[in-house]
Structure 1
């Protein structure tokens, strides 16, 4: 689980969880059951990452003048501590072909609440059973379903990146964000880029320089690509085993802020929408006994998330140096902090 936590903190989505031994056991149930479980298990984590990456596009509604610029280091912490509906889901045997809950019919029902990749439920045991032949005992493999990040005391999904803003024609500001491709431990690689526009409507009004507030519209796009090659881990029989994930997030917002010389306050209403695609690639031997099969590029996991957001924040400006912090209320709420260096 240490690798689970580390990978989550490094690249925000931590779908490398899938390659861990506590998840790889699920492959014994075959590709179809594994794909179904993976969608329910990883889905909430993907949603949290989408909301996390959609934040941090602005720290003021006052667009920079022509030639004005700002370079920022931005960090987001998207919490899920109180999101009980996202930390667990109901496992229903009726939806699975081979995967079953351990326990006699008098001791349980055929459904049970189990942990998602965000959760902390432990000790849920399942089994896969296959008939070998007439008169022979059935082959059975029993294992525990994986828990999630909360079981390690981690109740947030982090993202971080560099962002630059440049003032152009009157009221228009362009933005770019990026995280250069990073290779961790020779098997995890990820990178992020994005672009955005901000338009300050108050700049076209007469006497805009004396107005106490600014009002802007902001649009931003973020893309994250990551891969995890776990062939050498020896977790599952096969070769060229890897996970490739892509996140795409759009942010739309209306923003207002004060126009004071040192300390300002800003807030906005917006909408975040995005999707993720995770491809499980390579060759795998899945199942037990007669259920065993070798498959290539077994499945993909897709997830979409969207929702309305509202945030409020403050920005401290001391010459070239600026600090900002804000809190966004959404399906997954996010605390954002930025260290900024700018001119004008």
Structure 2
């Protein structure tokens, strides 16, 4: 049952991650490979940045619905959906500002190209490799998130288990086995620790609220097949994007239970690093040698985060919702079961 739930939630994940099968078929990011290794890397980076940043913030959501730790062997299991709102300013980018060495955008004439979350605008590029060798190609369109998904952002589902281990300390685990959808495979694993700090402060340890600190870490790994966009110099090596995302969250938490409702909040810091590498063997020009592992992209997102929310307690079942102010604001809703 749990594996089935994880697989169903993963489908939502796979259509919102930057290298998802949906993005591959409708956006065709591999078209950028026609620009050559250096320029393709810059174009891919600009095209994917809003999705990667949004997804990374999404996977830092859903870690807590209270500041109260479990008793030893108390536990909770919950499902949350994290909706990240991407600013409209991230819908387009300007290729002429990327420092491209041999590639230029020739249409549309306004010089704006869509990012992966942007409009379904057709683009045309031309690359001049010298010696009379040129390549003219269409760039990937945006997925027009606001029109297709009715939200200017991405969704990141999580399934999480928390268990009390020792002296008002919870261990939290979030996990999804490797799932394949189209040309993309993805999996994630995360760990978190919540610790009650009020017990260590004599002046407030008996006051009627809960105070704790939380540290959470999530690792997402995946691949997307890029075969077929440019010839391979070594067919034994898969042409693909390999990506790894490491997301950290550090927050101070406070909560107060009133009858059936728990009000909670947190203030802290997001720190996310993502690597996306194009691996395999590629022939970018007919007369040139093959190039191996031509593109390495790196993304970093760091910033403060403030969260406020509430949880409705219906016996062992709870329903929660919270909103986080950060670089890309985040709405989280959750459902779970908890036994103290």
TM-score, with normalisation over the residues of structure 2? 0.85
Alignment partner, residue 165 of structure 1: 162
Which residue of structure 1 aligns with residue 60 of structure 2? 54
CA deviation string 1:264-312 (max 9, x = no partner): 111111110110011111122224x66x552221111111101111111
User: Is 1:91 the counterpart of 2:95 in the alignment?
Assistant: yes
Match runs of 1:288-303 below 5 Å: 293-303=289-299
RMSD: 2.8
What corresponds to 2:85 in structure 1?
Answer: 79
Q: Does 2:155 align with 1:150?
A: no
Contact 2:321 2:332 in 1 (8 A): yes
Q: Which moves more between the two structures, 87-96 or 193-202?
A: 87-96
- Partners of 1:241 and 1:184 in 2: how far apart? 17
| 8 A contact 1:11–1:159 mirrored in 2 | no
Structure 1 residue aligned with 2:193: 197
Matched-pair contact (CA < 8 Å) for 2:19–2:223: no
Structure 1 residue 68, shift from structure 2 partner = 1.1
CA contact (8 A) 1:8 1:14 kept: no
Task: Give the aligned partner of residue 34 of structure 1.
Answer: 40
Q: Residue 11 and residue 246 in structure 1: after superposition, are their counterparts in 2 closer, same or farther (change >3 A)?
A: farther
Q: What is the aligned partner in structure 2 of residue 343 from structure 1?
A: 339
Gapped regions of structure 1 (runs ≥ 5)? 1-5, 133-137
- Residues 121 and 20 of structure 1, relative CA distance in 2, 3 Å threshold: closer
SS of the residue corresponding to residue 29 of structure 2 reads helix
1:3 is matched with none
SS in 1 for 2:112: strand
1:207 Cα deviation from its structure 2 partner: 10
SS of the residue aligned with 2:333?
strand
- Structure 1 residues 257 and 282, CA, compared in 2 at 3 Å: closer, same or farther? same
Deviations 1:155-210 (A, max 9, x none): 2211112111111333211111111221224x421111111111122345679896
Is the contact between residue 31 and residue 140 of structure 2 (CA under 8 Å) also seen in structure 1? Answer: no
Q: Partners of 2:333 and 2:27 in 1: how far apart? A: 35
**In structure 2, C-alpha distance between the alignment counterparts of 1:166 and 1:260, rounded to whole Å:** 23
Report the alpha carbon displacement of residue 51 of structure 1 after superposing the two structures with TM: 0.9
Out of 214-223 and 35-44, give the one that drifted further. Answer: 35-44
Q: 1:309 to 1:140 in 2, by over 3 A?
A: same
Decide whether aligned partners of structure 1 residues 215 and 128 sit closer, same or farther in structure 2, where only a CA change above 3 A counts.
same
Task: Compute the displacement of 1:7 (Å).
Answer: 7.9
- Residue number in structure 1 paired with 2:309: 313
Change (3 A) 1:262 1:204: farther
